[in-house]
Amino acid sequence: MIEIALQITLAMVTLAVVLNIYRLIKGPDAPDRILALDSLYINAIALIILLGMTLGSRMYIESALLIAVMGFVGTVALSKHLKRGSVIE
Amino acid sequence: MNSRFGLPHPVLSITLFLVWQALNNGISGASVVMGLLLAWLLPLFTRNFWPDNPHVHRPLRFMLYVIRVIWDIIVASINVALIVINPKRRPKPAFVSFPLELKHPLAISTLAGTISLTPGTVSADISDDQTLLLIHVLDVGDEMELIETIKRNYERPLGEIFK
Amino acid sequence: MSIVMEIIISVLLVTGGLFALAGAIGLARLPDFYTRLHGPTKATTLGVGGIVFSSVVFFSVSERTLGIEEILIMVFLFLTAPISANMMAKAAMHLRIDRVEGTRGNPWDQ
Amino acid sequence: MTLALVVLLPFLGAIVAPLFAQAGRTAIAIASSIPAVVALAMLYPLWGPLAEGTVLVETMPWLPTIGLSLSFRLDGLSLLFSLLILIIGLLIILYSRYYLKKHENVGKFYSLLLAFMGSMLGIVLSSNLILMLIFWEVTSLVSFLLISFWNYKQDARRGARMALAVTGGGGLALLAGVLLLGEIVGSYELDDVLAAGELIKNHALYPVTLVLILLGAFTKSAQFPFHFWLPHAMQAPTPVSAYLHSATMVKAGIFLMARLYPALAGTELWFYLVSFTGMVTLLVGAYTALFKHDLKGLLAHSTVSHLGLITLLFGMGTKLAAVAAVFHVINHATFKASLFMAAGIIDHETGTRDMRQINGLWRFMPHTATLAMVAAASMAGVPLLNGFLSKEMFFAESLELNLPGFWAYLPPIVATLAGVFSVAYSARFIHDVFFNGKPVNLPIYPPHEPPRYMKIPVEILAFACVMVGMFPAIAVGPLLDSAALATLGGALPDYHLQIIHGFNLPLMMSFAAFFGGLLMYTQRQKLYDFHDRFRDIDEKAVFEAAVSWLSERARALTDRIENGSLQRYAALLFGAAVVVALAPMLDLGLSIGDLGVSSVDLPTAIAAAILIICALGTAAMHRERLYALILLSVVGLMVALTFARFSAPDLAMTQLSVEVVTIVLLMLALYYLPSWTPLEASRFRRWRDGIIALLAGGGMFLVTLAMLTRPFESISDYFLENSVTGGGGTNVVNVILVDFRGFDTLGEITVLAIAALGIFAMLREAKLTPPSTDGQGHPWTKDVHPTMLAQISRPLLPLALMVSLFIFLRGHNLPGGGFIAGLITSVALILQYIASGMRWSHQRMPFSLRTPIGLGLLVATVTGLASLSAGYPFLTSTFTHIHWPIVGDFELASALAFDVGVYLTVVGATLTILASLGRLSMKSAAMPEDA
Amino acid sequence: MNHWLAAPILLPLLGGILQIFMSFAPLGLRRVLGLATTTLILVISLGLVLLADDGSYRIYAFGNWAPPFGIVLVLDRLSAIMVFITAFLALFCHIYSIRGTDAVGRHFHALFLFQIMGLNIAFLTGDLFNLFVAFEVLLIASYGLLMHGGGSVRSIPGLHYVVLNLVGSALFLIGVGMLYSVTGTLNMADLALAVRDVDPNDLPLVESGGMILLVVFALKAAILPLCFWLPQAYAAATAPVAALFAVMTKVGIYAIVRVYSLIFGAEGGPVANLGMDWLFPLSLLTIAMGVLGAVGADGLRKLVAWQVIISVGTLMAAISLGTAPATSAALFYLVHTTWITAGLFLVADLIARQRGTAEDRIVTAPRMRSRTLLSILFLLGTTAAAGLPPLSGFFAKVLILESVNTGVSMAWVWGVIIVGSFMTVVAFSRAGSIVFWRNVEGHVKDPGRLTLPVTVSTSVLIGMSLAIVAFAGPITEYTDAAARQLHTPSMYIEILQTPMVGEEVTQ
Amino acid sequence: MEIMFALVIGALTASGVYLILRARSFPVVVGLTMLSYAVNLFLFSTGRLATGAAPIIGHVENYTDPLPQALVLTAIVIGFAMTAFVVVLALRAHADAGDDHVDGRIDYEEPKQEETSSEEVK
Ligand code: NA
Ligand code: NA
């Protein structure tokens, strides 16, 4: 059962990723793209977790944690860049 | 406990201890020793980076608050999901200015964060003088009611937690 | 692994997936940036939370040890999602991104 | 050793002489003459045996690989030349003492003169052809420096460069010729080469070799068509002209022909090449000399003509002609050197060399005039003077040539005609200078006799002309015999040195030449008018124009090729890689190996599709820079996921952390750069780049596919087997990084450290003006540090540090390690920069950012060095398991200490890089520069 | 295992680290320590030259991991020569720099020492991927050094240099990857063994990978058509850096010699002599391009930079002949050209500093203050560089010319080298006569006297031309032996059998 | 799977190469980053593609080749250092030339003043 659930979830998250990419390409404005990227990062966490569950391996969890951290920093930096230009000052 | 080797942020220390246990997937002799050590040392090393000392008065109230927020998040997410998925539903968005009673920036940030995570609202901005909070509402009914709900459910409990 | 556990894990998984998808749909089809902001901030976060939680249960059961590392991911996401949203909203307002017609109130001009 | 010392002495003198410059001209002249005197003294005891044809050879090994030895050889020929070089050299040294002015750089002059003397001696005394070549080129170089002695004169500089180009270039041809000779003979030793004449002349490479060697000889000896450099070398001080450009250096080519005569001469090719070149040179020089109004110009062209004469003699190929050639070398050296010195005196005393101004000097300087007239008469071939004797021999030999038909008349006619011109210009030298009315506008008036000692060299040489002319057998007989013997390398022909051989055809020719010459001189004005109808070619100007043209063409062409366009260079690089790499791959084509391809699951396929779309999208959308950046982040994220998908969790984590830092970095840069790229590439350019890109991408596709579907064995089984037992860790990737290939990692953190230092240094003085608005003209917000971000980031720091510590500690056994941990720490601190600003953060940082860089490198290196104490190589690791109460078992590995070094370096370097960039935008200078 | 093998790497590393810590120490102290490090490296490298002269291969296995699993340093005559050339050059460039070059920017001494470290890794390593790392170390240090001293003239040439080398690094990794994907190993000796019996089906991958590596090395070596980054970059660098860079192209040449004699050499089985047929015509064209550039150069630095390219072409022409005598000649030439071109960069700088705004351009300018010394140095340097007797260039050239076997290639090599020499003589004499002799009245702000460090370092480097001539015999003996060693790769491969520390006892 | 992977590497390479051939420093830097992604993936894949075979001893039965992973890790770090340097250098060039064209100002190629002609000029 878990197998099937994993497959279904994987399909749904993959679809979510495709939708993120759609928004990312469509825009129309920079904040939309950043939002899409942020969303993509979060969905990537789900993908990694699902991969770990599929493989029955816990060694990918830190990768997921790292995506969370890096996605956040990336989003913040991009947003600040839009507003302020200089990210670090 | 502001001595040179004390705990500058006790709550942080507790959190760090718990986080260490989580990272090590459970409790063992080594993880406890190391966890205690890190819970003591890390805040000490980084205390310059968190100079003000927001005092959490009622940790228990805070726990309750967190549980309540989690519940609200679940509800909010379902709401948003429904709005989003229903192709006929046309949301009525609005920007709402929320007058703040909280003073401490950390408290205000916590409130703003809570609002962002809960039903149909995103904290878009905090005014420069920190008296107003701009909230974007996905699907607004009555603005005054919304403000009142937020004040009742989140701002006042937070006010008691951070005094 | 007991069937109950399997059901719990599966339900958590699928629910998580659904929320993640819902967030993405919102992102894709809502009319303006500000409304789209709600999707990822809430639904996706919760969706990923569900999947992460199912992983906690899955590994705790299958490896018979407490596997709570993933919870940190959830905590972190909940801690940071509002800030991300806040930053993006600020950027959008700064750039005077168009709002959908019928939005009440105005963004600030700080 | 004697011969080597003879060569060495002048060089030593060249080094020592300048030290006497301060002591005055007399002192330096005396000092400079010592080497020549000593050398002469050293040679004197050796003369005796040479007469019988013995040869003295000294050899010392030097560079056997190229067949070069320090071998010297003294025989009649080299003795003759050595004496010329040394004796005339001594006279020149004396003469120069009075010629040079006080303020001139006499030290340099004498030094160069002696260096020239040494290298000239080197040429004639070398017994190894490579060694000879070395001295050969040195004479060209020294000549260059001497011609340009008055280098403030444009003509001197140009003349010098032209001479260098011609003679130096000829030297290069000679080099090739000599190397070929060595290739044929298998040795560069003169003995071997001279003994191998038949082998050489029958070898397939003989024509090439001969032509190359003759090129060397002809350029040096100013043979037509390379003669033009010599007249322009007259820009040199007159002693130099007398010494180098009449008596010695220009004879080097002649010497070479004489030296290699047994090895190369005696073929038809030799005959035609050498004799015709000589003939043309003889005529051209003689004709031109008549029309030069410049005293030295006349002498220079006359020198060209006489060099042609000698060459022609060598070309004739008869033994007697060779003897005559050697004889004329002596005679020409004596009369021409004295003429040059006389010309120098006239120049010195009148301030000009223009014969249209100089007239009637007989009245002012009868002594000098007498000497000059003797020498000039010798040049004209007047009997009882030495010039007459060799010219008679020349006339005689010109009649002996067995040319077919009409051609048999050519040599005697040319010889006589040249003799006519020769008499004419000699007559001009005498009449036009010392008689012919009164001087016109002399810069120095009235002229006087020069100082007593300045005339002595001229007197000696003039005396020699007379002595040889009257008592040839006594004066030069033995010397000439031994020289001719050495030249011919066999028996001497039967010849007699006497004043008059009787009333024969050669004497008739002499008379014809003499009276024809005088007649021609009386009719000179008509000839001048005729000559003036043709424009004189100024070879210097032609040479200069040619060099300039060459230089400008070269620059234009270089600028066209090396046009400073990175795009072109990059296209060349990619093009080169694609061409050479695709060539073998095309043999393979679309190749799927034995492993075959596996099926793909949907999520992976979609991820791959996204990767491809975003990669190509980045290229397509690159002009919108922020958009490109966001697409790049997606690609980076997807690459990380790919690593995770295919069993590389360490890589996934590394890629993720690096990517964020990179994106932040790019954003920092984008702040200062335009947010749009203008459309400036032409359609053609875009197509060209597109095709290169497609070929590169296609190539990589083929390679990857071929590779992925082929089985292979790698050394990695060793790592998997020894990771735990030998490296003490279960994460094999990490064990490879910190242990098996720890040295790579040390290099890698060094790179990071250097990059940080370099960036820090580079940005310190950069002046970048931050834009005040964004690309669309929105002014930047004043909300620099948003409350929410700042508030939440602060507690995140200790949390992130804890995570990074965790990842660090487990790295040896599970995905993680120092590098990833370091990046997490850095990102956590960068978040503080973003949230609260750099100044705020740095005030709270207890150390300079570069401290961890140095510390990290130090820790890693010292950890590696620790194993040396146990006798093990650098970076040998060790680990141990420890049991503590409560804590339990844990492992202590030296590799962990090494990883601490990695961690520290990464933190320090990353933060230094970002802080250096961030600092740029801080308007206040309050920021401590080293934070 | 002889720990001294690692000294040329560890010493500059430790010295560099020390410099990082001392970035606020007085300049004098930093100079003393920096120079002490460089001097020590020179002493040790001389020791290594003597050590290697017994003809055996010595290895140093980092971490005591046996090859091919761990990374090893391999010392043979070739590496010893290269390390020595570098150390010698570095010391005098370093001495020159303390005239003040080191003070015009930050971290000069650290970057300088790291540069030496990278070069020495490259010359000593026996591992192909470690060679990549070495390249990166030396490149990043060279980027830093190139940009050292600020000013706006360096950034564009620097950008070109960096971008092209980054592409080169990417290609390097692709090449290494392709070789690994078939052979499964990275140690060069092991690779040499592995390529000999590659499955014919996999051969194109090996060939293609090998050719990509050749492109990378050719880029570093600056062989046509990959040489155009060099003139601008070298001309823009500060003098001691440009002088030190004289050895940078030699790293590319070294890599070609090493990899293409060991792995793709005559004993390389199916991949024997890979790419040499490309290299031969290209190297001759490189000479032609260098000559063209030199003849057209409008400044002394540019002129010397093109001279570097001429020397690269000459070296590669000899190397691509693939015979031991030619390789030996090339090595002799390499010693000569590295030091002499470096010395010429320094001379050009000293000249430029005395000519006011004319700098090093080949135009009329007021007289120089120290023109006697400078003209002597210029004359010696250019004579040597152009290959005129009696200086080292002539001997090097003759060695190369002699090493060519009679045939078509002989005609080409001789023709190009000799005509090239002629044009070089024309270019140098023109430049020298204008710069030194064609003066105008005028005043240049007094540049001060030549200080002892710059005079000594420049004179020594130029003077090495005479030293090479004097010791031509021993040097050719060494290069002959080195070339023979290179042409018998089977000896090199035996390093794989070297026992590790602790194993010696049991054997 | 292998075809997909090869296509990805091909696309990344093509995009990187195209961008490196642009005339402005920023796209060039982006292109270099892209190319390094391609190269890292390629080098990684020289150990072939394996699912669930991370080379952590004791966790799975078959391990993928760990060596390419270690090499790529080194390459990533070095690539990061290099990218950082080139980014900063691009900024420097922009600051010095006043333009972000990779060859400096647009008039960079224009011939310099004719003050350097031959000896003819006196
Ligand atoms: Na007259
Ligand atoms: Na030969």
Please judge whether C86 and D789 are an interchain contact, meaning their C-beta atoms are less than 8 angstroms apart.
yes
What is the model's pLDDT at position F9? 97
Share of chain E above pLDDT 70, in %: 99
Strands (E), chain C: none
Q: What is the mean pLDDT of chain D?
A: 90
> Tell me: the pLDDT tens digits for B68-103?
888 888 888 888 788 877 877 778 888 999 999 888
> Tell me: the pLDDT tens digits for D419-474?
999 999 999 999 999 998 899 888 988 899 999 999 999 999 999 999 999 999 88
> Tell me: the pLDDT tens digits for A30-78?
999 999 999 999 999 999 999 999 998 888 888 999 999 999 999 999 9
Q: Which residue has the tokens 């044009």?
A: E423
Chain C residues closer than 8 Å to D776 by CB: 95
Nearest to C35 among B91, B112, B127 (CB): B91
Share of chain E above pLDDT 90, in %: 72
SS3 for B107?
helix
- Side chain identity, residue D146: L
Which residues, numbered 54 to 73 in chain F, qualify as contacts with chain E under a Cβ-Cβ cut-off of 8 Å? 67-68, 71
Mean pLDDT score, E56-72:
93
| Domain encompassing residue C58 | 3-94
Do the domain assignments include residue F117? no
What is the model's pLDDT at position D924? 39
Residues across chain D: 931
> Tell me: the pLDDT tens digits for E4-36?
999 999 999 999 999 998 888 888 899 999 999
User: Is it the case that residue D498 has pLDDT exceeding 90?
Assistant: no
CA distance D475 to D493: 19
- Looking only at the bridges linking them, the beta strands covering B132-137 and B121-126 are antiparallel
Mean pLDDT score, D126-139:
94
Helix H or strand E segment including D667: helix D649-672
Residues contacting D768, CB < 8 A, separation 6+: D672, D920, F91, F94, F95
DSSP string computed for D539-582: HHHHHHHHHHHHHHHHHHHHHHHS-S-HHHHHHHHHHHHHHHHH
CA D771 to chain centre: 49
Residues contacting A60, CB < 8 A, separation 6+: A48, A49, A51, A52, D644, D649, D652, D815
CA distance C30 to D861: 57
SS3 for D679?
coil
Please judge whether D758 and E111 are an interchain contact, meaning their C-beta atoms are less than 8 angstroms apart.
yes
Report yes or no: E222 and E308 within 8 Å, Cβ to Cβ: yes
Q: Is the dihedral of CA A40, A43, A49, A54 positive or negative?
A: negative
Give the count of alpha carbons within 13 A of D479, CB side only: 19
Among residues D709, D654, D706, D581, the alpha carbon closest in space to that of D822 is found at D654
Residues across chain C: 110
Please judge whether D788 and B30 are an interchain contact, meaning their C-beta atoms are less than 8 angstroms apart.
no
Q: Around Cβ E467, how many Cβ atoms within 10 Å?
A: 13
Does E167 contact F at CB distance below 8 Å? yes
Mean pLDDT score, D815-843:
90
Residues across chain B: 163
Q: Which residue has the tokens 């020595």?
A: E84
Query: What is the domain count for chain C?
Result: 1
At CA F7, angle to CA F5 and CA F10, rounded to 5? 115
> Tell me: the pLDDT tens digits for D321-375?
999 999 999 999 999 999 999 999 999 999 999 999 999 999 999 999 999 999 9
Residues contacting D669, CB < 8 A, separation 6+: D917, F26, F29, F87, F88, F90, F91
SS3 for D768?
coil
DSSP state of D61: E
Residues contacting D538, CB < 8 A, separation 6+: none
User: Is it the case that residue F118 has pLDDT exceeding 50?
Assistant: no
Report yes or no: D621 and D628 within 8 Å, Cβ to Cβ: yes
User: Is it the case that residue C67 has pLDDT exceeding 50?
Assistant: yes
Report yes or no: D860 and D749 within 8 Å, Cβ to Cβ: yes
What is the model's pLDDT at position D727? 85
Give the ranges where B24-126 is alpha helix by DSSP (H).
Answer: 29-45, 59-85, 105-117
Please judge whether E177 and F42 are an interchain contact, meaning their C-beta atoms are less than 8 angstroms apart.
yes
CA D318 to chain centre: 42
Do the domain assignments include residue F72? yes
| Most A-contacting residue of F57, F60, F61, F63 (CB-CB within 10 A), to test interface | F60
Least trusted range by pLDDT, from B149-153, D667-671, E265-269: E265-269
Report yes or no: E62 and D875 within 8 Å, Cβ to Cβ: yes
Domain boundaries, given as residue ranges, for chain B: 10-49, 59-161
Q: State how far residue B156 is from chain C, nearest Cα, in angstroms.
A: 20
- Side chain identity, residue D669: A
Please judge whether C90 and D778 are an interchain contact, meaning their C-beta atoms are less than 8 angstroms apart.
no
Q: State how far residue F116 is from chain D, nearest Cα, in angstroms.
A: 10
> Tell me: the pLDDT tens digits for E393-428?
999 999 999 999 888 889 999 999 999 999 999 999
Token output for D277: 């070149």
Please judge whether D783 and C90 are an interchain contact, meaning their C-beta atoms are less than 8 angstroms apart.
yes
At CA F83, angle to CA F78 and CA F88, rounded to 5? 130
User: Is it the case that residue E89 has pLDDT exceeding 60?
Assistant: yes
Nearest to E212 among D581, D755, D861 (CB): D581
Mean pLDDT score, F63-72:
94
> Tell me: the pLDDT tens digits for D515-565?
999 999 998 888 888 888 877 777 888 888 898 899 999 999 988 888 888
> Tell me: the pLDDT tens digits for D638-654?
999 999 999 999 999 99
User: Is it the case that residue E468 has pLDDT exceeding 90?
Assistant: yes
CA distance C34 to C85: 10
Omega of the bond prior to B8 within 30 degrees of 0, cis? no
What is the model's pLDDT at position D782? 79
Does F89 contact E at CB distance below 8 Å? yes
Please judge whether A57 and F60 are an interchain contact, meaning their C-beta atoms are less than 8 angstroms apart.
yes
CA distance F28 to F17: 9
| Residues flanking ion ligand 1, Cβ below 5 Å | D 355, 358-359, 432
What is the model's pLDDT at position D882? 80
Nearest to A47 among D641, D660, D816 (CB): D641
Does C21 contact D at CB distance below 8 Å? no
Q: Answer yes or no: is the ipTM higher than 0.90.
A: yes
DSSP string computed for C32-52: SHHHHTHIIIIIIHHHHHHHH
User: Is it the case that residue D923 has pLDDT exceeding 60?
Assistant: no
Please judge whether A59 and F59 are an interchain contact, meaning their C-beta atoms are less than 8 angstroms apart.
yes
User: Is it the case that residue F113 has pLDDT exceeding 60?
Assistant: no
- From the CA of D361, how far away is ligand 1's center (Å)? 9
Looking at per-residue pLDDT, the higher value among D930 and D368 belongs to D368
Report yes or no: D372 and D342 within 8 Å, Cβ to Cβ: yes
What is the model's pLDDT at position F105? 66
Residues contacting D404, CB < 8 A, separation 6+: none
What is the model's pLDDT at position D321? 92
Strands (E), D703-814: none
Q: State how far residue D715 is from chain E, nearest Cα, in angstroms.
A: 6
> Tell me: the pLDDT tens digits for E288-321?
999 999 999 999 999 999 999 999 999 999 999 9
Share of chain B above pLDDT 90, in %: 7
Residues contacting E313, CB < 8 A, separation 6+: E223, E224, E283, E284, E285, E286, E287, E288, E289, E290
- Side chain identity, residue D751: V
Chain D residues closer than 8 Å to F110 by CB: none
Does B138 contact D at CB distance below 8 Å? no
Q: Hey, what's the torsion of the CAs at D65, D70, D76, D79, to 10 degrees?
A: 140
For the domain covering B59-161, report its CATH number.
3.30.70
Report yes or no: E244 and E102 within 8 Å, Cβ to Cβ: no
Q: Which chain E residue lies closest to D208 (C-alpha atoms)?
A: E411
Three-state secondary structure along chain A?
A: CHHHHHHHHHHHHHHHHHHHHHHHHHCCCHHHHHHHHHHHHHHHHHHHHHHHHHHCCCCCHHHHHHHHHHHHHHHHHHHHHHHHCCCCC
Do the domain assignments include residue F104? no
Please judge whether A62 and D824 are an interchain contact, meaning their C-beta atoms are less than 8 angstroms apart.
no
CA distance D459 to D461: 5
DSSP string computed for B21-43: HHHTTS--HHHHHHHHHHHHHHH
Please judge whether A87 and D834 are an interchain contact, meaning their C-beta atoms are less than 8 angstroms apart.
yes
**Longest Cα separation, chain F:** 84
Edge-to-edge strand list for the sheet holding B94-99: B94-99, B132-137, B121-126
Residues contacting E269, CB < 8 A, separation 6+: E195, E196, E197, E198
Q: State how far residue A89 is from chain C, nearest Cα, in angstroms.
A: 17
Assign B53 a pLDDT band (cuts: 50, 70, 90). low
Does D781 contact C at CB distance below 8 Å? yes
Do the domain assignments include residue C102? no
Of the listed ligands, the closest to the CA of D67 is 2
| Domain encompassing residue F1 | 1-51+65-97
Among residues A36, A17, A12, A16, the alpha carbon closest in space to that of A26 is found at A36
CA distance D343 to D337: 10
Of the listed ligands, the closest to the CA of E410 is 2
Q: What global pTM score does this model have?
A: 0.93
SS3 for E268?
coil
As to burial, measured by CB atoms within 10 angstroms (0-12 exposed, 13-18 middle, 19+ buried), residue D605 is: middle
Among residues E363, E345, E347, E350, the alpha carbon closest in space to that of E442 is found at E363
Which residues, numbered 80 to 99 in chain B, qualify as contacts with chain C under a Cβ-Cβ cut-off of 8 Å? 80-81, 83-85, 87, 91-97
Chains A and F touch (3+ CB pairs under 8 A): yes
User: Is it the case that residue B26 has pLDDT exceeding 80?
Assistant: no
As to burial, measured by CB atoms within 10 angstroms (0-12 exposed, 13-18 middle, 19+ buried), residue B105 is: middle
DSSP state of D879: E
- Pairs across C and D, CB distance < 8 A: 24
Please judge whether D802 and B126 are an interchain contact, meaning their C-beta atoms are less than 8 angstroms apart.
no
User: Is it the case that residue D377 has pLDDT exceeding 50?
Assistant: yes
Secondary structure tally for chain E: helices H, strands E: 20, 2
- From the CA of E181, how far away is ligand 2's center (Å)? 41
What is the model's pLDDT at position E507? 43
Phi, psi torsion values for D891, nearest 5 degrees: -105, 140
